[in-house]
Amino acid sequence: MQVQVAIVGGGVGGTLIANRLRHLLHGDARHEVHITVYDAEGTHTYQPGWLYVPFAQQDPRKLVRPERRLLREDIALLSGDAGRVQRIVPGEKQLLTADGQAHSYDYLVLATGSRNAPEDVPGFAEGADHFYSEAASLQLAEKLAHFSDGRIVTGVASVPYRCPPAPLEFTFMLEAALRDRGVREQTEIHYVFPIGRPFPIESVSDFVAPLLDQRGVKVHTFFNVESIDPERKVVSSLEGEELPYDLLILAPPHRGQQVIVDSDLGDRDGWVATDRNTLRVKGFEDANLFAVGDATDLPVSKSGSAAHYEGHIVAETIAAELQHRPTQHQYHGRVACFLETGHGQATFLWFDYEHPPKPPKPRRLWHLEKAALNTFYWQLIPPARV
């Protein structure tokens, strides 16, 4: 019996699911399972590496590899227009690609990720810098290299955004970089954040707040960015605060991909309503339709870590169904990641729906573990070895 599994998006989630599923079904002669990954660019980027590009610590080209090389040989990859999915029709179990083809599927996984939506905050495109793309991080590297004095404002422009730790980590790294260059005295660093503390997790916030204070970073809490005036160089908050800047570096607003919106599978911001345990798309429980990673509306961080743990569950679920085994696999909200606290130290964040995080005190060990993950990502995560 022929079974078509379509995976839209060759990022962390999509690649891992394809490889893991292929592995789980290996040698199973009962079905002929065809797994196809649809990815327009045909490349796979290790996005956490962009954090280091503005400090000239990472060549962004080394963060990109061909998706073909990350997928097992017995998995099909469609890229270019053939891989650009324009519409998904769950009622017909079909997807339509930009080359005019219609593809039927038996199982579909939405792993389309998120996109930067600068248009959501007036003045962002003209006035703000960020490191949430290769181009933007390179442009920022240029600006930072020539920055010698003035005020830098960092933080987030909107929620949700990829990787909650990143803007905070960036701020620590920025402070250290400016000091190393000998221009810290002439620079003011301001950090803006929408809630009442510098980081969502209270215990983490409790130990980073004094660190930010020690390093002279002025923290503006309850600062929900409303608009940016690129002429006057002022960023304004919903709460009525105005902050002038010389350089503005904010995580950009995010939205789900256009194909989700065009297929009527997303909410107003293009996020897919997803069951928090089964990862099936809500409203399509019997349609073999799953969603993972940034693309979902789940109350977990938009991170590779979440996509990784979710991906394993989806692969196991589909394999179990095809092999007529009972499925006990559920996603329990697990996420695990590192948060750099500067000075070569980091902490480790681990939590799931039932267990709140209990971050250990910052250690050099976690900084090294993070560095190890950054280095060995390609061997460990996309091939689903871990």
Which residues contribute to the site for other proteins (CB under 8 A)? 158-160, 164, 194-196, 200-202, 222, 224, 238-239, 267-269, 276, 299-301, 333-336, 344, 348-354, 356-357, 360-361, 363-366, 368-369, 386
Minimum CB distance to other proteins, residue 233 (Å): 20
Nearer of residues 299 and 326 to other proteins, judged by Cβ: 299
The token pair at 201 is 């997790």
User: DSSP assignment, residue 70?
Assistant: H
Give the ranges where the chain is alpha helix by DSSP (H): 12-24, 67-70, 124-127, 134-145, 166-180, 202-214, 258-262, 304-322, 364-380
Nearer of residues 283 and 360 to other proteins, judged by Cβ: 360
Question: What is d(CA 308, CA 312) in angstroms, rounded to the nearest whole number?
Answer: 7
Nearer of residues 13 and 270 to other proteins, judged by Cβ: 270
Question: What is d(CA 260, CA 265) in angstroms, rounded to the nearest whole number?
Answer: 5
Q: Please give, one letter per residue, the 3-state secondary structure of 165-217.
A: CHHHHHHHHHHHHHHHCCCHHHEEEEEECCCCCCCCCHHHHHHHHHHHHHCCE
Minimum CB distance to other proteins, residue 299 (Å): 4
Minimum CB distance to other proteins, residue 383 (Å): 15
Nearer of residues 76 and 336 to other proteins, judged by Cβ: 336
Minimum CB distance to other proteins, residue 372 (Å): 8
Minimum CB distance to other proteins, residue 267 (Å): 7
Nearer of residues 10 and 167 to other proteins, judged by Cβ: 167
Minimum CB distance to other proteins, residue 157 (Å): 11
Nearer of residues 37 and 298 to other proteins, judged by Cβ: 298
Q: Please give, one letter per residue, the 3-state secondary structure of 316-366.
A: HHHHHHHCCCCCCCCCCCCEEEEEEEECCEEEEEEECCCCCCCCCCCEHHH
Torsions phi, psi of 239, nearest 5? -80, 0
